[in-house]
Amino acid sequence: MDDERLELVRIDSTGTAHPVGKTASQRMRARQGAFRLMQSPTHLVVMRYVGEDGKRDAADGPIFRLAGEITTAGAICDVVALIGQAGWPGELVVLAGGSSRSLFFERSNVIAGQSTVEGERLGEVLYRYGALTAEQIAATAKAVSTETRFGEAAVKLGFITRERLFQLMARQVEEIVFAVLLVGDGMFYFLDTYDEARLTTRQNLQVTALLMEGVRRMDETRYFRDRIPSDQHVPARVMTREAPAVEFLKIFEAIDGARAVAEICRVVGQGEFEVTQALFQLVQSGHVVVHAPRPTGSAAIVALFNQAISMIFGEVDAAGHGGEVREQLASFATGAGIYDTLFRKAGPAVDGTLAGERIVDNIAVLVGPDQAETMLAQWLYEYVSFAMFVAEPYLRPASEVPGASRKGEMMGSSLAKKVAALVAPLAPKS
């Protein structure tokens, strides 16, 4: 059963509604009581709770002044703009998948925001901006109670000043706004009132300014992602050029070749968009290159190695020189004094790949769990680099290499680039 059928409700000829899917059943059970069936187009069913008296009372919940489907990213911009221009007070609720986000409006300002998305919670925001460590987040969470909210608990524990907390709570609201604008599939409801007790802080963020910034971010992020695909990618300095512009110096100095974008955000205390924007400029000016995320865990390292080594053997076998490459690699492995032990009962297979589970066991015995990932990445990087070094002459144009097959013509340089890019995350970090 697909997701759409999970939400399916069937109305029979008697007017009785039957939940067909599990999700529909759960939602209807959570809404027990008397509802008024509102007038609506024939393809829509709109109901609101009124209680047994059938009258709409203040205690029955706020009135929704706007509601609709979201079908494309950015479509909600018009709704937010309308609310801001009209100066309506109220709560905009945006539901997408299993997440819920709320923006609270007053006099053309967004005064607060709430989100059930884990990465948009206050603790996650404080961590991403480097205001709290993971240990401080855990300690603060333990101090939260019905009387003490997360931010207040962090202040009482001395982890953050009240002024810094207020600043970052404003950033949290901004991030929730920008996330709302990016929702491409969901529902929105604008309610005319809200419970003041739900607000943990009151900000004054102009709707117009937020919309302009949100649209700018959506537009520019498309360009950034070509060079910096995620916050887990790792930038590295290029030290052969002049110093970068002053406005990028702080971020440039935080780059050490090991920190991912998310970690740099914590070091400099800035948001992902601002850091990514600066890194993009540094990449454009030639001061920085960006590497793929380093694999996490020994099994992921072996998987990346297998992808690279199989590419190499696929080409040299097609060129008719797989035997020579295998022979030189076997000699290299024996001479290095480590690979025979590392590869015990793990291969290599005919295509050069290794058995991941055996390698994980072997590396743990060789160097212990603390050094396993670092040493495995280094050794497999050196092995695949030597394999490419040995293979490349056989893949040059036939006219340049006596006896080389024309099947490998012009493949050497392009394969070397692909392999180098693939195994870059395994390279030892200086």
Residues 281-316: pLDDT tens digits?
999 999 999 888 877 788 889 988 998 999 899 888
Pick the range with the lowest mean pLDDT from 55-59, 63-67, 88-92. 55-59
* Averaged pLDDT for residues 42-54: 92
Task: Please give the pLDDT value at position 399.
Answer: 45
Q: Which helix (H) or strand (E) holds 38?
A: strand 35-38
Cα torsion angle, 191, 193, 195, 200, sign: positive
| Position 279 pLDDT exceeds 50 | yes
Task: Please give the pLDDT value at position 296.
Answer: 78
pTM over 0.75: no
Pick the range with the lowest mean pLDDT from 130-139, 183-192, 216-225, 410-419. 410-419
Evaluate whether residue 389 is within a structural domain. Answer: yes
Number of H helices, E strands in the chain: 17, 12
Domain count along the chain = 3
Evaluate whether residue 27 is within a structural domain. Answer: no
* Token couple for 53: 């008296």
Q: What residues are paired with 91 via a beta bridge?
A: 104, 191
Q: Among 151, 182, 212, identify where a domain stops.
A: 212
Evaluate whether residue 43 is within a structural domain. Answer: no
Task: Please give the pLDDT value at position 36.
Answer: 93
First to last CA, the chain: 51
Same domain (yes/no): 153, 138: yes
Task: Please give the pLDDT value at position 140.
Answer: 96
Determine phi and psi for 292, rounding to 5 degrees: -65, 160
| Position 243 pLDDT exceeds 70 | yes
Evaluate whether residue 333 is within a structural domain. Answer: yes
Of 96, 249, 269, which Cα lies nearest the Cα of 187?
A: 96
Task: Please give the pLDDT value at position 261.
Answer: 94
What's the mean per-residue pLDDT of the chain? 89
Same domain (yes/no): 75, 135: yes
Task: Please give the pLDDT value at position 47.
Answer: 93
Task: Please give the pLDDT value at position 429.
Answer: 66
Task: Please give the pLDDT value at position 409.
Answer: 45
Of 109, 327, 321, 72, which Cα lies nearest the Cα of 183?
A: 72
Domain hosting 392: range is 298-426
Question: For 352-408, what is each residue's pLDDT tens digit?
Answer: 999 999 999 999 999 988 888 889 999 999 999 999 999 988 887 544 444 444 444
Evaluate whether residue 49 is within a structural domain. Answer: no
Same domain (yes/no): 282, 413: no
Same domain (yes/no): 196, 255: no
| Position 240 pLDDT exceeds 70 | no
User: In whole angstroms, what is the distance from residue 341 CA to residue 339 CA?
Assistant: 5
Same domain (yes/no): 264, 354: no
Percent above pLDDT 90 for the chain: 65
| Position 412 pLDDT exceeds 60 | no
Same domain (yes/no): 266, 368: no
Task: Please give the pLDDT value at position 413.
Answer: 65
Same domain (yes/no): 99, 161: yes
Q: Among 160, 182, 212, identify where a domain stops.
A: 212
Task: Please give the pLDDT value at position 327.
Answer: 92
Same domain (yes/no): 270, 359: no
Evaluate whether residue 371 is within a structural domain. Answer: yes
Q: Among 183, 212, 241, identify where a domain stops.
A: 212
Are 188 and 74 a contacting pair, CB within 8 Å? Answer: no
Better-predicted residue by pLDDT, 425 or 381: 381
Evaluate whether residue 25 is within a structural domain. Answer: no
Question: For 160-193, what is each residue's pLDDT tens digit?
Answer: 999 999 999 999 999 999 999 999 999 999 999 9
Same domain (yes/no): 204, 239: no
Evaluate whether residue 344 is within a structural domain. Answer: yes
Same domain (yes/no): 182, 271: no
Same domain (yes/no): 100, 196: yes
| Position 410 pLDDT exceeds 70 | no
| Position 430 pLDDT exceeds 70 | no
Task: Please give the pLDDT value at position 154.
Answer: 96
Task: Please give the pLDDT value at position 241.
Answer: 67
Cα torsion angle, 172, 178, 183, 189, sign: positive
Same domain (yes/no): 175, 103: yes
The amino acid sitting at 226 is: D
